[in-house]
Amino acid sequence: TGPADPPRHPEQAQLWGLGRVVGAEYPQRWGGLVDLPDTLDERALDLLTALLAAPDGEDEVAVRATGTLARRLVRADTNTTAPASEYVLARPHGTVLITGGTCTLGAHVARWLARSGAGHLLLTSRSALADQGAA
């Protein structure tokens, strides 16, 4: 949500991702996802109440005392002085789970992670052994 509000429990991103998958699998039951602050003060509670009473079309939001935040895709700043070789896009440690790992995109991601030093990759797929290249 921003530098002033860093993730306190990053592992909860897994639950957010699971919620998005469930929403994609069962769109008729999709209601949305709401991220709440650790302490729900009166201002944040008022914002949550208003959001639930009159949805504004956003289905993934973070409610904070400063306001309601929604996901946005923004263009990256390409005006940088650091060479591209200094950027590390992944620092894989332990086992990396790749869902949809036996499809074309998943296979590309797996190869990229392997080249980046991932020691263990776990590729999963709903179609399982039916995908070409699955073992």
pLDDT at 87 over 90: no
Q: What is the pLDDT of residues 10-56, one digit of tens each?
A: 788 888 889 998 898 899 998 899 999 888 889 999 999 999 998 88
Domain that residue 65 falls in: 12-70
Pull the structure tokens for residue 28: 């008729």
Is there a single domain that holds both residue 53 and residue 101? no
Q: SS3 breakdown of the chain: % helix, strand, coil, rounded to 5?
A: 35, 15, 50
Query: Is residue 27 included in any domain, yes or no?
Result: yes
Is there a single domain that holds both residue 35 and residue 66? yes
Q: E strands within the chain?
A: 33-35, 60-64, 67-70, 95-99, 120-124
Answer positive or negative: Cα dihedral of 12, 17, 22, 28. positive
Q: Count of domains in the chain?
A: 2
Query: Is residue 46 included in any domain, yes or no?
Result: yes
- First CA to last CA distance, the chain: 40
Is there a single domain that holds both residue 63 and residue 96? no
Instruction: Please give the model's pTM, rounded to 2 decimal places.
Output: 0.59
CB contact at 8 A, 102 and 131: yes
